Amino acid sequence: MNALNPTPTSNIVSFYGSEVKIRRAAMSREPEVLTDIYHEHTNIVIWQRALSNTLKNSVDTFLDSNSNFQASMIVTPQSALSSISEVLGGADQLELSENIAELVDMFCCLFELKRTGLRLATLDRAMCPKFHADKVPCRLVTTFQGIATEWLPQQAVNREKLGLGSKGQPDNQSGLYKDQDDIQQLKCGDVALLKGELWQGNENGGLVHRSPALPEGECRLLLTLDFSD
């Protein structure tokens, strides 16, 4: 059995000497893949999306004059475009505003939410530098510029080494994973749904991930969407 791509006859497999839930990744260039988050054995879904050149150029222009941008708000599918446009500066960032509003609409539709918590921020350092699993039902993440989120396949993780279990050691020394090649990484533009610990039936199956280390002088523009209802 391949540890990263097991073919179990049950929902549990033995790994690192302990029993762990089977969890897999689903990915596609088509947005319909996002519905795979409802599959029991899936804890990350990746829509492998390419950003248009015009959008990338407008994001570059925005970051040149907004290197410390931070925005958090609760939006509905109906209010998203106007709310986002207002904080981004109106017509100059219309394509980015429309892109984000579309993701809000998709996220709310997928999970039957009336509203969502939105956070858009420029980052010049790792926001969450250690691997962890979020205590949320599900979170959408996408990076509009810069290097994107790192994650570990479920069967590569010794979950006993998460949090306090690391005893203060760095991830690459704590025994959390065996090999550097275990670390996977989203690409800029990818839209990912990260299933968390509070998804019903997903305890100890939440997607383990972290913010990437950023090279000196570089930044990233990160969007996250969370349940708000």
Please report the pLDDT score of residue 34 as a whole number. Answer: 98
Q: Which CATH class is domain 12-227?
A: mainly beta
- 204 close to 159: Cβ distance less than 8 angstroms: yes
- Distant-in-sequence, close-in-space partners of 101: CB < 8 Å, separation ≥ 6: 77, 80, 81, 84
How far, in Å, CA of 196 to CA of 179, rounded?
A: 24
> Sorting pLDDT into bands at 50, 70 and 90, what band is 6?
very low
Tens digits of residue pLDDT in 182-226: 999 999 999 999 999 999 999 999 999 999 988 888 889 999 999
Strands 24-28 and 42-47, how do they pair? parallel
Average pLDDT, integer, range 140-157: 95
Please report the pLDDT score of residue 18 as a whole number. Answer: 54
Please report the pLDDT score of residue 11 as a whole number. Answer: 59
Most confident of 11-15, 118-122, 171-175: 118-122
How far, in Å, CA of 177 to CA of 181, rounded?
A: 9
Please report the pLDDT score of residue 135 as a whole number. Answer: 96
Sheet holding 208-210, edge to edge: 132-133, 208-210, 150-152, 184-185
More confident residue, 199 or 10: 199
Q: Note the pTM of the prediction, 2 decimals.
A: 0.89
How far, in Å, CA of 155 to CA of 216, rounded?
A: 33
Tens digits of residue pLDDT in 104-139: 999 999 999 999 999 999 998 767 779 999 999 999
Q: For the chain, which residues make up each domain, given as ranges? A: 12-227
Please report the pLDDT score of residue 128 as a whole number. Answer: 76
Q: What is the per-residue burial (b if ≥16 Cβ within 10 Å, else e) of 135-157?
A: ebbbbbbbbbbbbbbbbbbbbbb
How far, in Å, CA of 223 to CA of 214, rounded?
A: 17
Residue 79, both tokens: 């209010």
Tens digits of residue pLDDT in 32-80: 999 999 999 999 999 999 999 999 999 999 998 888 899 999 999 999 9
- 106 close to 30: Cβ distance less than 8 angstroms: no
More confident residue, 12 or 66: 66
Judged against a pLDDT cut of 70, whether residue 16 lies above it is answered with no
> Which region among 11-25, 30-44, 60-74, 141-155 has the lowest average model confidence (pLDDT)?
11-25
Closest CA to 184 of 218, 220, 212, 222: 212
Give the phi and the psi of residue 161 in degrees, each rounded to 5.
Answer: -100, 5
Residue 19: strand pairing partners:
14
CA-based torsion, 179, 180, 182, 183: positive or negative: positive
Please report the pLDDT score of residue 172 as a whole number. Answer: 87
How far, in Å, CA of 156 to CA of 143, rounded?
A: 24
More confident residue, 116 or 6: 116
Q: Other CB atoms closer than 10 Å to residue 84's CB: what's the count?
A: 24
Residue 20: strand pairing partners:
13
